[in-house]
Amino acid sequence: MKKVLHAIKQYFKTMPRHMKILLTAIVLLCLVTATANTVIGKYVFDKEVNGTFVANAKLADTFKLLEHQAVQGTDGSYTLNNGSVVSANTYQLIPGLTIPKDPYVAITGKTAIGAYLYLEVIEDSLSAQLTYAIDTTKWTLLSGAVGPHGGAVYTYAAGLIDNQSTGLDHIAILSGNSFTLTKTPITGSAEALKFCGYLIQPASGEATALAAFTGKFSTVTP
């Protein structure tokens, strides 16, 4: 290896000056292109189940945040593989691209114990370059509440849920199941959107979703 490196060094020394300049320019162009156009953004999910449990009771058998696998085509665009469900997708972010993304909450085996369902939406600096909307037919912004991760909090619009509730196996999160990137260059790498779900049984006297949430998490603005 040392002999190879020495030979390359000697070749570079004897190379004509204009060739050195051209080679350097090509290397710099590749680095700039990689920085501007091949940013990797991971989109992951988290969850937390809370409740006051009695006599081996629980809130649900399973509580998950899922989405379908995103598959990138040769032109850089994405499609969803509806036959494959994953807990996270990694995207190569391309300015101006609309990317399909269908995160949803899936709850199975909900018990008779009434509980409120919440969604925390956590952004970072890269989020300013995204356009997305929460599905307001399914979720209502919980005004004044701040999640444990500092994000905005939404509550399931149907109110308290229990074993009589329907449609809990697929509660969509994003309106249109997609987000769009601005046409400006993207720099940096980040988890631009993170969703956290919470299932909380209200305690005695907690008559609203806000009261139940703040009873568990005290991070609420005045």
Chain centroid to Cα 127, Å, comes to 10
State pLDDT tens for residues 44-60.
334 544 444 334 457 88
State pLDDT tens for residues 76-102.
889 999 999 988 888 777 788 888 888
- Region 133-151 average pLDDT: 92
Residues in the chain: 222
Instruction: Report the alpha-carbon distance of residue 80 to residue 91 in Å, rounded.
Output: 12
Instruction: Report the alpha-carbon distance of residue 141 to residue 145 in Å, rounded.
Output: 9
Specify the pairing of strand 130-131 against strand 88-92: unpaired
Q: What is the pLDDT of residue 186?
A: 66
Q: Calculate what percentage of the chain has a pLDDT beyond 70.
A: 67
For 190, the token pair is 């980040």
Q: What is the pLDDT of residue 10?
A: 52
For 176, the token pair is 């249109």
Give the dihedral sign, CA 85/78/138/116: positive
Specify the pairing of strand 116-123 against strand 152-156: antiparallel
Band of the pLDDT at 123, cuts 50, 70, 90? confident
Q: What is the pLDDT of residue 188?
A: 61
* Cβ atoms of 202 and 215 closer than 8 Å: yes
Number of H helices, E strands in the chain: 3, 13
Mean pLDDT for the chain overall = 73
Instruction: Report the alpha-carbon distance of residue 167 to residue 218 in Å, rounded.
Output: 30
- Region 161-182 average pLDDT: 92
Band of the pLDDT at 187, cuts 50, 70, 90? low
Tell me the residue type at 184. T
Q: What is the pLDDT of residue 166?
A: 96
Q: What is the pLDDT of residue 26?
A: 26
Instruction: Report the alpha-carbon distance of residue 208 to residue 37 in Å, rounded.
Output: 46
- Cα-Cα-Cα-Cα torsion 135, 141, 146, 149, nearest 10 degrees, comes to -10
Q: What is the CA radius of gyration of the chain?
A: 24
Q: Could you tell me the residue ranges of all domains in the chain?
A: 1-37, 39-216
201, containing H or E segment: none
Q: What is the pLDDT of residue 14?
A: 53
